[in-house]
Amino acid sequence: MDIQLKRGSLDVCVLASLLNEDSYGYKIIQSLDGVLEISESTLYPILRRLESAGCLTSYSVEHNGRLRKFYSITETGRDKIKDYLLDFKELMQIYEYIAGEVKK
Amino acid sequence: MKLDIYLEELKRELEKRNIAEKDDILQYFEEMITDREESGEEIDSILSSLGEPCDVINSLYGAEEKEESAETEKEDTSKRYSFADVRSIKIENVTYDFCFHEDDVDEVTVVFNDDKYTTLNVECDNGRLKIEQEYAFKGITALFSSLTRLFSDSDRNNMAGRYRAEIFLPRNARLDLKMETVSGETRFTDIGIGDLKMETVSGDLELNGCNFDDCSVDSVSGNIEVHDLIVDEKFDVESVSGDLEIDGIRCEKIEIDTVSGDAEILIDGPKDDYNVKISKVLKDISTQGKRHSYLKVNTVSGTITYNFTK
């Protein structure tokens, strides 16, 4: 897959995993299991990038005597998902046209 | 215990590489490994899947660097414009080095690399292409650029890699070109143009294997170098202190004025029935033959050398 397309998709997938509830690193990887393969080393820079872009915020919660970092999606992050879906809709139209021409 | 040893090793690697976000990374991996343990995975299996601490950091920063380099590749600062049916080009330039070529293109194509400080505006209206350099500190930059050139002249013989703006013209388009430049150098290579009017302050001009209807060049201190030039009508050069080197020129009429620039001129020999007579070095050259030819050279203090070949 094109690196830019893949990178954009990974970012949006991570954001989407936070749409319904705040989540933490391990759980994010678990929720994306079966959708795309993502390692701890891949997730860390994505979370940092999204946080510095204002797409998510983080806070720590005590869990079993240690701190667990939770991530929460922001309005900017939600807008990013909307933009991605719109872009992808256009991309799908292009895909259908190309696939149709290939079939002819 | 194994977790502590692993984290200690990870910490040492982070410190060795002087990574500022060391604590964030340690906290992140400690949380990840502990969460995986809590979910029932064996510590050996977890650490083995993560890899050696140095590999973790390599892959962490490798991933970021790869992404950054992909982003850099995407941010290509070169710009390309193409225009059909261009009849004339007007360029108001300050510092850009321009190179003109003829190529197998249907449209006039302008390619330049922008940078942080300057911008070229390109617009085409009714067949008239205009390229203008926006520059906030025109005078200062021109002066600085001229001074820089005075002290760093070593690459003058290797001009090919230094041009930042290139213009490709369709073959035999013979459009007219008017160009003003302050310190940017200009080169024309194997190109045919209608009328060329060129004004330069300190930027050098080089014409190689070109063919013009009419050619007029004004220079303050920019040097002018001409090789194998054919001008159907008049070749007119005025220079204050810019040197002139003209090697192989054919035209109906040449006028060269220089105040203190040195001039070396080699003119292609007359054809049959064509005679050239030089009366005095610093005065007119009279010719006679089937075709009329005219050469006039004025100088105040420059040295002029004529070489007529047969």
Q: Which amino acid belongs to residue B75?
A: E
According to the model, what pLDDT value does residue B263 have?
75
- At residue B289, φ and ψ (nearest 5 deg) are 160, -170
Domain ranges of chain B: 2-74, 76-203, 209-310
pLDDT band of residue A56 (cuts 50, 70, 90) is very high
Chain A hits for B21, Cβ within 8 Å: 48
pLDDT band of residue A37 (cuts 50, 70, 90) is confident
Q: Which amino acid belongs to residue B284?
A: D
According to the model, what pLDDT value does residue B119 have?
66
Query: How far from chain centre, in Å, is Cα B256?
Result: 27
State whether residue B226 sits within 8 Å of chain A by CB. Answer: no
According to the model, what pLDDT value does residue B17 have?
79
With 0-12 / 13-18 / 19 or more C-beta atoms within 10 angstroms meaning exposed / middle / buried, residue B205 is buried
According to the model, what pLDDT value does residue B16 have?
80
According to the model, what pLDDT value does residue B249 have?
77
Range with the poorest average pLDDT among A16-20, A57-61, B246-250:
B246-250
Which residues of A lie inside 8 Å of B (Cβ-Cβ)? 3-4, 7, 24-27, 39-42, 44-45, 48, 64, 66-69
According to the model, what pLDDT value does residue A68 have?
93
Compute how many other C-beta atoms are within 10 angstroms of the C-beta atom of residue A69.
15
pTM of the model: 0.50
Which among A26, A45, A64 is the nearest to B32, CB-wise? A26
Chain A hits for B46, Cβ within 8 Å: none
Query: Mapping DSSP to helix (H, G, I), strand (E, B) and coil, where does residue A71 land?
Result: strand
According to the model, what pLDDT value does residue B283 have?
41
**Could you give the CA distance from residue B129 to residue B109 in angstroms, rounded to a whole number?**
11
DSSP tag of A52 = H
Query: Mapping DSSP to helix (H, G, I), strand (E, B) and coil, where does residue A20 land?
Result: coil
Residues 6 or more apart whose Cβ sits within 8 Å of residue A2: none
Is B60–A41 a contact, with Cβ atoms under 8 angstroms apart?
A: yes
Taking 50 as the pLDDT cut, the residues of chain B under it are 70-74, 116-117, 137-162, 272-286, 310
Is A25–B32 a contact, with Cβ atoms under 8 angstroms apart?
A: yes
Tell me how close the Cα of B50 comes to any Cα of chain A, in angstroms: 8
ipTM above 0.90, yes or no: no
Chain A hits for B14, Cβ within 8 Å: none
**Could you give the CA distance from residue B8 to residue B45 in angstroms, rounded to a whole number?**
18
Q: Supply the CATH number for residue A57's domain.
A: 1.10.10.10
Domains: count for chain A = 1
Range of the domain at A96: 3-103
CB B270 within 8 A of CB B292: no
State whether residue B41 sits within 8 Å of chain A by CB. Answer: no
**Could you give the CA distance from residue B53 to residue B125 in angstroms, rounded to a whole number?**
62
- Considering only alpha carbons, which residue of chain B is nearest residue A68? B31
Beta bridge mates, B197: B178, B216
According to the model, what pLDDT value does residue B115 have?
53
Q: Which amino acid belongs to residue B78?
A: S
Provide mean pLDDT across the span A19-39. 90
Tell me how close the Cα of B115 comes to any Cα of chain A, in angstroms: 24
**Could you give the CA distance from residue A31 to residue B254 in angstroms, rounded to a whole number?**
81
According to the model, what pLDDT value does residue B307 have?
59
